[in-house]
Structure 1
Amino acid sequence: MELRDKDTYRVELIENINFNSLTSLVALYQPILGRDALNFYFTISIEGTNQKSLENHQRLSKIMNMDIPTMERARKKCEQFYLMRTYFKVDNDKSTYIYVVNPPLSIQAFVKHDLYSRLLLKVLGQKQYELTIAKVCRAETNKNGYEDISDQFDKNLLANWDAENEVQFTKVQPSFNFTDHEKLNINFNYEELFDTTSTLVFPVEARTKENLQIIGEYATLYGLSASKVRILIGRCMDLPTSTLDVDKFKKLCSTQNPDAVVTSKDPYMLPPVSFLQARQHGVPVASVDRRLLEYLNLELKLPAEVVNVLVDYVLSVNQNRLTKRFVEAVASTWVRENVTTKEQAIAQTKKNPITKQVTRKKDILPAYYEKMKAGEEEVTETMTEEEKSELLRKLKELGE
């Protein structure tokens, strides 16, 4: 079957390359494999290290600067020396390859191999063969007295780099270097998200600073891990246009329970939803309370630790109720006081302690009660039986 650039592949690594393997590949395998085959082997080994989804061969062609026919010949060369095995499947005119990459023979095993060692001798000749074996089987050469004359990177390789190239490069570089103010509400592992999320699921075009900031803020608020965020992003991506439906992402985040409500040496450092859920003995947070936390954290820009102190404070003085108007009043005061740390928030709770007072509803007495004060007998003479009963009831309640 002829290889096409649109054909997809997945790499399965049996073992990572160590220094012994690297030496064996470069010094012993390269002369009999050729540089294209060695290039192919190194490239798919690296590509397979963190591969999470299928890729196409056009990518390999680009990064190796190798056309498809040359790539296929290189692969077969690696197969001949058992450096890899290839598995192939066609499904609805879609071809998929699985490359199982085997580790090379160690230096000692290669030298003792009846076929490989003889072939290396045939390719190199006796003099170079003996020199090669001596090099790989002895200690590093002493470089004292030698000058390092290694060639440097040629900057002219980027001589034609223009503004358009820079714009394109900037677009594909995910940026999460936020300002200090923007970082207040973000505690999220972006590196893990990028390492585990394929560009097929989360295209580079959608990894804008604005999108990444929203992702970080909502993941922090709701206590969501990178793995859960990856799933939510996949459900919110419009792949044909490479755009993220931000509103849908926010809505999905608001329906998620924290990945784990854990105990901590400092519970105030938990995500706000996790903190409140812990205060509720693990019972999920109601949607109305979630919206209130979202308002405090994302609209008023109060850091998570400050939100948690505020929630703890209000619950303690308000009979374990998060009354919206009461919470907003305290939060607005803290915003004006520029409260940005847990310590400052705790100080605020001690600065103006609130004592809740229970007030009784004042009853409104009938108009004739006021008239009765002027002359009770005259009033009672003109009262109906129903009015008398009502008056007696009110008087009784006032005396209780």
Structure 2
Amino acid sequence: MEIKASDTYRCELTGGLSFESMVSLMELYQPLISAQAAVVYMTLAAEASSLRTQQSHSRLFALCGIDPLTFDRAMAKLEEYMLVRIYRKESENRSNYIYVLNPPMSAKSFTNSAIFMNRYMNAMGSKQMETTLSKLNSDTLSTQGYQDITRTVVHTSRKEEEDLSYTKVKPRYRFSVDDTTINFDYEKFIASTSPLVYPVELRTTENLSLIGKLATVYGLSPDQMRILVSRCVSLSTMEFNADRLKILAARTEGEVTKASDIYSLSPVSFLQAKQNGAQVTPTDKKLIEHLAMDMHFSNEVINVMLEYILSVSSNRLNPKFVDMVAAEWARDGIETKEQALLEAKKQIRKTSSQKTNIRIDMPEYIRQQQEGNLPKSKKATEETLNAVRELQNKMKD
């Protein structure tokens, strides 16, 4: 874009600019966007804090100590790294611009972006990159596995609590620490997934739950899921394709893991072990996915169910029979491995009892033969024998 000194501008900074954001801008972004772009960003941020009226770009060029061409290049870099959005309105004699500044990513998010860190290493070299990382990294305590028991203190009146402006504010996503059907490291996934790959706006409860369940069913790691999720996000339309993620997850081979309890394996890995290492068919994978996604069974319950069904159905997974068993177990409230094992043993014992109680009567002539009560056969007469011989001779002719 060609900006003239007489063109006007106004600035707005979304979210404010914290000290941590300034550190991220100067130590991480600056080598990638250039020093001039960093100066332009900081100057626009300063202007946004107090500037409410339109000013000409001649003021901005003077503050930054740069010419229009250098300013244009600096703005292009800021746009490339999504640090600024530009709005323009044409008037009769000049153009009017509004610059909306986005805060830089946090140091943690930046360093977790493979794309940004590759560019950073190319710009700074591996030694300087390690120095920067050692300065920025700080030990933080992980709260995964802990339950937040902080007491809630309400300072607002009941009327204010019921006001629409309060009730509309809700967390973007929330996970239940008691959800035993999902076995996935969300902390690692979120920490290693850049907002440029998976925008925060798309990290809804529904989407994150789907990601965790698919990873649990197919035995996929956070790193694998990050790659798959990136292929299902459209940044232009800001949409997440859940159906595509299901297809990609089913096609991806899970990581090989060791487990002291075979029932804790992912259902796909468990079934593959039951098949002596043979790949699980797409049909069986969809069946397993149905048990996890629609019936809400945990890995352990699914694995016990698969083992039971294979044992009573000649190693076949008939979808109708699987649905029947799953529905029965759901109605019976089977939620844990122990409950599933007890139910499977009960059903096997019941089936065996039914088989032993079946009585098949032997034919009457066999019973009479065993008892020696069969009637003695009569000896054929000479007349009968002659008739048989005559019939045989006719057949020969």
Taking structure 1 as the reference length, what is the TM-score of the superposition? 0.50
